[in-house]
Amino acid sequence: MGNKISITINGQKVDVKHGTSILDAATQAGVIIPTLCYHKDLCIAGNCRVCVVELAGQKRLATACATPCESGMEVMTNTLKVRNSRKHIIELLLTEHNADCTSCYKNGNCELQTLASEYKIMNQDFIHLVPFKNYTVDKFSPSIIKDDSKCIRCQRCVRTCAELQSVNALTMAFKGEHAKVTTFFEKTMSEVVCTNCGQCINHCPTGALVEKNYIEEVWSAISDKTKYVVVQTAPAVRVGLGEELGFDPGMRVTGKMVSALKKLGFDAVMDTDFTADLTIIEEGTELLTRLKKVLVDKDSTVKLPMATSCSPGWIKFIEHMYPEYLDNLSTCKSPQQMFGALVKTYYAKSRNLDPESIVSVSIMPCTAKKFEANRPEMHDSGYRDVDYVLTTRELAIMIKQAGIDFLKLDDMHYDRIMGESTGAGVIFGATGGVMEAALRTAYELVTGREVPFENLNITPVRGVEGIKEASIKIEKPLKEWAFLDGVELKCAVAHGLANAKIVMDEIKAGKTNYHFIEFMACPGGCLGGGGQPIPTSPEIRAKRAAAIYAEDEGMPLRKSHQNPEVIKIYADFLGKPLGEKSHHLLHTKYTPRKRF
Amino acid sequence: MKPIIELIKDLADKHGRERHNLLPILQGVVEQEKYLSEYSMIEIARELDMPATEVFGTATFYSFLEHKKMGTYIIRVCKTITCAMKGEKQILLTIEDMLKIRVGETSSDGKFSLLQTNCLGLCHKAPAMLINNEVYTDLTPEKIRDILTMYMNKKEGGENVN
Amino acid sequence: MSTNYLLKRVDFIFKNENDWEDVLKKSINRPPQELINELISSELKGRGGAGFPTGLKWKVASEEKSDVKYVICNADEGEPGTFKDREILSRVPFKVLTAIAICGHVIGAKKGYIYLRGEYYFLQPELNKAISEFEYFCKEINFEFSIKIFMGSGAYICGEETALFESMEGKRGEPRNKPPYPSSFGYMGKPTVINNVETLAHTYTIFRYGSKRFYDLGVQYSRGSKLFSVSGDTPKPGIYELELGMSLADFVEEFGDDDTKAVQVGGASGFLVPRKKFAETNIGFQGKLVGISLPTGGSMMLFNSSRSMFNVLDNYLNFFAEESCGQCTPCRVGCQQLLMGIKAVKRGDKNAQYLDKLLKLAETMQITSKCGLGQSVANSFSSIVENFREEMIY
C-alpha cells in the first residue's frame, strides 16, 4: 500500500506514505518532537511518553513515535496541553533519576539532561524517589558500569541487547514501582552472558550505562618518567573521533589524531592497522592450511567454516552461545592483542627498551576490548600485553582535558615500527573489511593474480545488509595450491550479533557450506562499535563507512602482504606465518562459557 | 516430587516448547516447588531454547511466580481495600504471632511463608486469604487459629486438607 | 425514601442454563451477519468496564481476513471490589462457553481461550469438566471448536486486553501500543475478539431471547442489566443483577447501612461519589442522562462515616503503584508520586496546595498513559481528593 495520505501538523499540510508514524511525518515537515525511548536502531516502545502530541478531537494525547498517521489527522505538537504534559513527564523521570549531573560521566551528552534544559525544569518539587530505592552501581565488569539510579526505564538497552545483539544479558524485571532493567537474577554484568559489546552504552540516553574508563590510569602512566607509554589506534577510531571534537560524522581525522596523541605525551604513536595487516597474513595462511587439511588430507578434526576472531564481543558471544563451535574460530588473536604481544617483545627489542617499563595503551571503538585485554591468557609477552584500553570517547575526553584545539591540529604520521599499514588494514573497521582484506591477499597468494574486482573493491561484502555472501572461484592457481583449482571459495559476513546468531543457527542446522565467515559483534562493524561516539544511527554509521573506504582508496598500498613492516617482521622476528613464534605470540585459545 | 529436570521436560512435553507455553510451564514448576530457583529457570530456558534472562524477566512480573525459596504452604493475605477495612491487620498479626514469622518470611521449619497479596476477588467475604490454592474467607482470629492448627498438624506432602 | 425508585433486580445471568445445547445449535446455524445485527440492536456494551459496543467488536473481527482468529474470554477479574465473573464461571459456565463458541462461529475462529486469573485457580477443575462436556457436544454436532483455560499468575494489569495477549504469549504483561487493535492484531498477532465473562454471558441471553428482551431493560445509552459486586460497609454484600440506569441514591437506599458516606463506583480505577452527589449520579455509560453517568465494571464499594478517605486512597494508590506494569513513565512514576505525595501532605511535609499540583499530575497521567490503568488512576485520585480534601490534610 504505497498510497499517500495527507495530514496536518500544526496547521501545515504534510503528505506521507500510509503507515508513516507521526514522528516521521513531523521530521519530514521540519517539526522537532522530543523523544527518549525512541531510537532509529530499535523497535518502537512508546513507553517514555515524552513525544506526546495532541490530535484534534481527542482528549487523550498520542505518542508521535507509536501512532501511525491517518488521513485527515490534525496533529498539534506545541499546545499548552502538550507542553505541560511533556514537562510533567520529564519532571517525573527526573524524580526517579539520580540527577547528579556535574559528577556524571555522561554530563553534557545526556538526552534527559538536554530535555530538562530545553523545558527548563527549574522549580520542580515532586518527591525525589531515588533515596527510597535500593539502587546499586555495578562496577564488576572491566568494560561496562551499570548505575541503576540513573536508569529511566526507556528499555533502549534491553531492546538493543535483545534485538540488535540477541544476547539478552539485560531484561526488564519485576513490575510497577519495582520495575527495573537488570540481569538474570540481578547478577553483576561480569557474571552473565554480557559480551561487553557496549551497544547498550551507545543506546542509553542517560548515564545508566557507561564504559569503565581508564583515563586517570593512562594520565598517570604518561606522567611517570620511568614508563615508556606506547599507544595503538584501531582503524575505526579515525573515522569516529572527529564527531566528539566538532566535526560532522564521516570526517577522517587520522593525521590530527596522531598529532593529538603526541601532544598528549605518548612516547610512541602506532597503528593497530599494522597488526590488522599481520592478522591477514596469519589468518589467511590459517584458512588456506585448513582448506588443505580438509580438502586434501581429509582431516576431520579440522573445522570449516573458519570464523574470524578479531571481534572480542563476538568471541565472548560464541563462547557463551555456541561453545561447541570454538574450533571453528581462527586461533588468531585480534589485532589489538597481536599488537600488545609484539610491543613488549619485538618492539621492545628493536627499540632496546625494557618491556617492564612499557605501558601499552590502545584506543579502540570498542568496550569489549577492555575485557579482552583483561583475559588471563593475554600475557604471552610475559607481561600483560595491553595495559589499558580506551574508547574513542575516552580519547576525546583526554584531548579536551589537555586543552588541545583539535580542529587546528596539523596532520602527522604514525611512528616507525608498527606504524605502517595498508588500505586492507584500514577497512578492518567496517563490516566486510576483514573478509575483503583477506580475499585481496589470499587470492593473490594462491593465484599470483589480484582479486578479480575493479580497483580491488570487493563490493559484495560491503554495505549495511546484516548478512552478506560472496564467492570467488579459484582458477589456475599456482602450483603449490593446485588442490584449490576450480574451488569456489564461499564466504559470508555477519555484523551485529543478532545476525551472527542467524548464521550460527544455519550452520548448526547444516544449511550452509561456507568456508570462511567474518563475524563482527557490532552493527556496521567496528565503526559502529560500543566505544564510538554517541549518538549512533544507520545514517551516521553509513558516513563512517564511507570514510573508511575513502581512506582505503587513498592509501598507496592496499594489500596486507605489501606492508613493508609486515614483510620485515617476518624476516627479522617471526620467521614465517603460523611459525613457532607466531604460534606463541599471535595465536590464542578460547573458553566455553555458560549460557545465562 | 519429580526431579526438576524431569518435571520441566514433562511440562514442556505437555504444553509445548514455544514461547507462548512459558507461563504454564513456570506455573507447573511453582506448583511442585513453590518457587522458581535459578536452576529451574536455567533449565526451563534450555528446554524452550530461550534466554534465561527473559525467563527471569517474565517470571518476576507475576506475583504468584516467586523466585525466592518458599515454604510448603504459602499464605497470601489480601490487603486490598475491603479486606483492609474488615480486619486484615488483625488477621496478619494473628498469623505472625502463631507462626513466629513476619510478612515476607518463611518459618524456620520451611513449612509456611507469609505474604500479602492484592485483591483476591472475595471482597464480599472479607477478610480473605489463600493458602496455596485454597481459599479462606470471612476470617477472624479464631478461624485463623483453627486453619493454621490444621495445617501445622499436616504431614509434609499429606493429602489435601479439605 | 427516594421518590423515583428505579432499582430493579433482574434475573437473566444466573438462570436457565439447561438449554445451552439448543442455543448453540440454533445460533451456529444462523448467518454471522444476523447474529452481529442482533448484538448491535441489543446495544450491549462491554461489561468489563470500558463499555465498547460488543456487536461492533465482533463485526470488525469478522471482517478481518485471516485463516486463524481467536476468541478470548477475559476472566482476569482483578479490579478491587469485583467478583462477579467468578460467580458466573462457577454457576453458569455453559452460557459463557456457548457464547465463546458462537463468537467463534461469527468471526471465523476455531479456538477460544479463557484467561483465568491465578487467584481463581480453584475454579479450574470444575471449569475444565464443563469444557470437556462442551467440546464433546460440539463434536457431536460437527461444530469444530475448542476452548482452553489459560491461567494468569497474579498481575492486575493482565486484565488490560493487550497485556493479556502478551501474557498468553509467554511474556511480561505489558500493554501494547494501540493501534493496532485486537480485532485486527490480537493474540499471536491474529484477529481476536476479547470479551469480559459477563459480556459473553449477556450475549447468551441475547441469542437465547432475542435482542429486544435485553434492549428493553435499562435506559438510553445503557441498555440491559448488569451484575454488581457489592462490598464494603453494607449489610448485604454479594452479587446482584440490576437494570442499568439506576440512581446511586436508590442503590444506597437498597444496599447502604444508613450511614453511607461515599460509594466507590467501578473499583479502584473508578470514581468515588460522596453522599451529596448520590442523587445526581446514575449508573450506566456516558450519555445524556440527567446528572453524571458513571460506567462501571460492576464494583460498588460502600464506605460509611467511620472510614477515613485518606486510608482508602492510600490503599488504592499502593495497589496501583504495585500493579502498574511499570513500562510507561506517567503511570509508573506518577502512581508513586501520588502515593508519596498524599502521605507527605498528611505528615505536613508538603502544604495543602501540593494536592493541586498532584491533581494536575493526575490529569497528565490520564491523557498520556499508555493504557487504561494509568489513564484511570486519576479517576479515584481526583474524585477522592476533590470531595474529601480536608481528610487528606488533617
Q: Are residues B53 and B83 in the same domain?
A: no
Structural domain includes residue A595:
no
Q: Are residues C239 and C224 in the same domain?
A: yes
pLDDT of residue C220: 86
Name beta bridge partners: C146: C111
Q: Are residues C318 and C295 in the same domain?
A: no
Q: CATH number of the domain that C261 lies in?
A: 3.10.20.600
Range of the domain at C59: 20-211
Q: Are residues B50 and B84 in the same domain?
A: no
* Active-site annotation holder among A65, A200, A310, A491: A310
Q: Are residues C132 and C276 in the same domain?
A: no
Structural domain includes residue C226:
yes
- All three cell numbers of C211: 435482542
Out of A174, A175, A185, the one facing B38 most closely (by C-beta) is A185
pLDDT-derived band of residue C267, with 50, 70 and 90 as boundaries? very high
Q: Are residues B85 and B48 in the same domain?
A: no
pLDDT of residue C286: 65
Q: Are residues A578 and A473 in the same domain?
A: yes
pLDDT of residue A3: 83
Under DSSP, the state recorded for A68 is: B
Average pLDDT, chain A: 97
Structural domain includes residue C9:
no
Q: CATH number of the domain that A16 lies in?
A: 3.10.20.740
Q: Are residues C110 and C197 in the same domain?
A: yes
Q: Are residues C83 and C228 in the same domain?
A: no
Instruction: Judge: C326–A172 Cβ closer than 8 Å, yes or no.
Output: yes
Let me know: does C102 contact C28? Beta carbons within 8 Å: yes
Total domain count, chain A: 4
Average pLDDT over residues A575-591: 97
Q: What is the pLDDT of residues C134-193, one digit of tens each?
A: 999 999 999 999 999 999 999 999 999 999 999 999 999 999 999 999 999 999 999 999
Range of the domain at A368: 215-274+336-408
Q: Are residues A25 and A49 in the same domain?
A: yes
Structural domain includes residue A592:
no
pLDDT of residue B156: 63
**Side chain identity at residue C199, one-letter code:** T
Does B94 touch chain C if contact means CB atoms closer than 8 Å?
A: no
Q: How far is B111 from chain A (nearest CA, A)?
A: 24
Burial of A102 (0-12, 13-18, 19+ CB in 10 A): exposed
Residue of A nearest to C357 (CA): A126
Q: Are residues A17 and A58 in the same domain?
A: yes
Instruction: Judge: C367–A46 Cβ closer than 8 Å, yes or no.
Output: no
* Global ipTM: 0.95
Structural domain includes residue B119:
yes
Q: Are residues B77 and B136 in the same domain?
A: yes
Structural domain includes residue B138:
yes
Range of the domain at B24: 4-59
Pairwise CA distance, residues C99 & C367, whole Å: 34
Residues near C34 by Cβ (< 8 Å), separated by ≥ 6?
A: none
Structural domain includes residue B19:
yes
Q: Are residues C40 and C168 in the same domain?
A: yes
Residues 187-246 on A with a CB inside 8 Å of B are 192-193
| DSSP-assigned states of every residue in A583-594 | HHHHB-------
Instruction: Judge: A89–C364 Cβ closer than 8 Å, yes or no.
Output: yes
Structural domain includes residue A71:
yes
Q: Are residues C157 and C199 in the same domain?
A: yes
pLDDT at A542 over 60: yes
Structural domain includes residue B9:
yes
Give the relative orientation of helices B88-99 and B141-152 as an angle to the nearest 10 degrees: 30
Q: Are residues B78 and B38 in the same domain?
A: no
Average pLDDT over residues C278-293: 71
pLDDT of residue C5: 46
Q: CATH number of the domain that A149 lies in?
A: 3.30.70.20
Q: Are residues A562 and A483 in the same domain?
A: yes
Q: Are residues C55 and C154 in the same domain?
A: yes
Q: Where are the beta strands (DSSP E) in A44-114?
A: 52-55, 62-63, 74-76
pLDDT at B155 over 90: no
Q: Considering A162, A184, A211, which residue would you say is the last residue of a domain?
A: A211
Cα-based distances in Å from A439 to A304, A460, C23: 17, 12, 73
* Catalytic residue check, A101: no
Q: How far is C319 from chain A (nearest CA, A)?
A: 10
Q: Are residues A468 and A578 in the same domain?
A: yes
Q: What is the pLDDT of residues C288-300, one digit of tens each?
A: 444 566 777 889 9
Total domain count, chain B: 2
Q: Are residues C329 and C285 in the same domain?
A: no
Structural domain includes residue C378:
yes
Structural domain includes residue B159:
no
Q: Are residues B82 and B146 in the same domain?
A: yes
Structural domain includes residue A593:
no
Out of B27, B81, B121, the one facing C119 most closely (by C-beta) is B121
Q: Considering C275, C304, C333, which residue would you say is the last residue of a domain?
A: C304
Q: Considering C182, C211, C240, which residue would you say is the last residue of a domain?
A: C211
Structural domain includes residue C4:
no
pLDDT of residue A366: 98
Instruction: Judge: C337–A44 Cβ closer than 8 Å, yes or no.
Output: no
| DSSP-assigned states of every residue in A37-62 | S--TTS-----S-TTEEEETT-SS-E
Q: Are residues B37 and B85 in the same domain?
A: no
Q: Are residues C74 and C193 in the same domain?
A: yes
Q: CATH number of the domain that C163 lies in?
A: 3.40.50.11540
Q: What is the pLDDT of residues B4-46, one digit of tens each?
A: 999 999 999 999 999 999 999 999 999 999 999 999 999 999 9
Residues near A375 by Cβ (< 8 Å), separated by ≥ 6?
A: none
Let me know: does B129 contact B78? Beta carbons within 8 Å: yes
Structural domain includes residue C12:
no
Structural domain includes residue C6:
no
Q: Are residues B25 and B78 in the same domain?
A: no
Pairwise CA distance, residues C113 & C71, whole Å: 6
Please list every residue in chain A whose beta carbon sits closer than 8 Å to the beta carbon of residue B38.
184-185
What is the phi/psi pair of residue A220, to 5°? -60, -45
Out of C172, C350, C367, the one facing A60 most closely (by C-beta) is C367
Q: Are residues A269 and A349 in the same domain?
A: yes
* Catalytic residue check, A310: yes
Q: Are residues A292 and A181 in the same domain?
A: no
Structural domain includes residue B10:
yes
Total domain count, chain C: 3
Q: Are residues C342 and C239 in the same domain?
A: no
Q: Are residues A301 and A199 in the same domain?
A: no
Q: CATH number of the domain that B126 lies in?
A: 3.40.30.10
pLDDT of residue A500: 98
Structural domain includes residue A143:
yes
Q: Are residues C115 and C168 in the same domain?
A: yes
Structural domain includes residue C169:
yes
Q: Are residues B52 and B86 in the same domain?
A: no
Structural domain includes residue B20:
yes
- Kindly report the pTM of this predicted structure: 0.96
Compute how many other C-beta atoms are within 10 angstroms of the C-beta atom of residue A48: 32
Q: Considering C211, C238, C269, which residue would you say is the last residue of a domain?
A: C211
Residues 14-73 on B with a CB inside 8 Å of C are 18-24, 26-27, 57-58, 61-65
pLDDT-derived band of residue B157, with 50, 70 and 90 as boundaries? low
Structural domain includes residue B158:
no
Q: Are residues A117 and A206 in the same domain?
A: yes
Structural domain includes residue A93:
no
Residue of C nearest to A133 (CA): C336
Q: Are residues B90 and B51 in the same domain?
A: no
Average pLDDT over residues A126-137: 95
